[in-house]
Amino acid sequence: MTIISTVAYILASLTAGGGSLGYIRTGSVPSIAAGVSVGALYALGGYRMSNRQPYGVELALLASIVLAGSSVPRAIKSGKPLPIGLSLLAAYGLYSFGSAWSSRVR
């Protein structure tokens, strides 16, 4: 298993776990749907990377883009800790998977 696939698995567990906790605490169906969906993209990307299959980095990068697209505007608007934390996770994913993708494309 590579370091980048491990990052994908960690982000998968954090986003899916966070969405599940959001559902448990507030009954928010959008939280569990978004968390599990983004987590599944990260997990699939990590799986594909660890098995040296194509499009693993791209799937994880897509998950980071989706997460950033939904959390950054909420973080800016509300200033609450949860959207800020999700934005930081998304930024880390964008940096990690963007760098991995960029180095492969060259």
Task: List, as one string, the DSSP characters of the chain.
Answer: --HHHHHHHHHHHHHHHHHHHHHHHH--HHHHHHHHHHHHHHHHHHHHHHTT-TTHHHHHHHHHHHHHHHHHHHHHHH--HHHHHHHHHHHHHHHHHHHHHHHHH-
Domain that holds residue 65: 3-105
Render each residue's pLDDT in the chain as its tens digit; 106 residues. 799 999 999 999 999 999 999 899 999 999 999 999 999 999 999 999 999 999 999 999 999 999 999 999 999 999 999 899 999 999 999 999 999 999 987 6
Q: pTM for this structure?
A: 0.94
Domain count, the chain: 1
